[in-house]
């Protein structure tokens, strides 16, 4: 009986140590979008860039919230402006597709380029995806547009 009680106490303590972002991530992992939609907005509004990106994903796909590309763009942009590579890549995808924004390959290239440069070395797959996305956008652009996108990426500074 003591062993069971001890194990339960440890399990509950681990749960108690998890924060709202970790709880939201766990909800997303189990496809409990209603819980994630309840937990993420306060974090995102407080400036948590991971929560902002997650909300962007949810609004972009209509998971737990009505699909709304304008809302997705808003949350992606907040996270992207803080240097979140996932949000930068997601924002680039929106610009390529013209979802919630005018289709703009220069902006797409800029965001893909930034994402590729910001992923840690350990995240080679994500970095590679951003590089491929950037190169696909470049194939739709003139050399002058590519140069403009590269200039915009060089001049970009995170807000935080």
Instruction: Domain count for the chain, please give it.
Output: 2
Q: Which of 25, 85, 78 lies closest to 56, judged by CA?
A: 78
Please tell me whether residues 31 and 72 are part of one structural domain: yes
Domain final position from 66, 82, 98 = 82
- Other beta carbons within 10 Å of 71: 17
Are 102 and 125 in the same domain?
yes
List, for residues 87-137, the tens digit of each pLDDT value: 999 999 999 999 999 999 999 999 999 999 999 888 999 999 999 999 999
pLDDT at 139 over 80: yes
Six token digits for residue 137: 């956008």
Tokens of 17: 């140590």
Token digits of residue 159? 């807000």
Q: Are residues 67 and 87 in the same domain?
A: no
Q: pLDDT tens across 37-96, in order?
A: 999 999 999 999 999 999 999 999 999 999 999 999 999 999 999 999 999 999 999 999
User: Which domain does 121 fall in, by range?
Assistant: 83-160
Between the two ends of the chain, the Cα-to-Cα distance in Å is 51
Q: What is the dihedral of CA 85, 105, 58, 127, to 10 degrees?
A: -30
> Does residue 46 sit in the same domain as residue 97?
no
């Amino acid at each position: 009986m003591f062993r069971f009680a001890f194990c339960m106490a440890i399990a509950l303590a681990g749960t108690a140590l998890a924060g709202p972002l970790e709880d939201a991530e766990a909800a997303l992992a189990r496809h409990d979008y209603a819980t994630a939609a309840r937990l993420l907005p306060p974090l995102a509004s407080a400036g948590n860039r991971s929560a902002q990106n997650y909300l962007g994903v949810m609004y972009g796909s209509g998971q737990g919230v009505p699909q709304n590309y304008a809302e997705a763009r808003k949350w992606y942009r907040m996270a992207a402006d803080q240097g979140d590579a996932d949000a930068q890549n997601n924002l680039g995808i929106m610009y390529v597709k013209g979802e919630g924004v005018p289709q703009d390959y220069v902006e797409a290239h800029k965001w893909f380029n930034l994402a590729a440069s910001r992923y840690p070395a350990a995240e080679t797959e994500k970095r590679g995806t951003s590089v491929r996305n950037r190169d696909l956008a470049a194939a739709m652009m003139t050399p002058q547009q590519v140069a403009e996108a590269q200039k915009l990426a060089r001049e970009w500074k995170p807000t935080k």
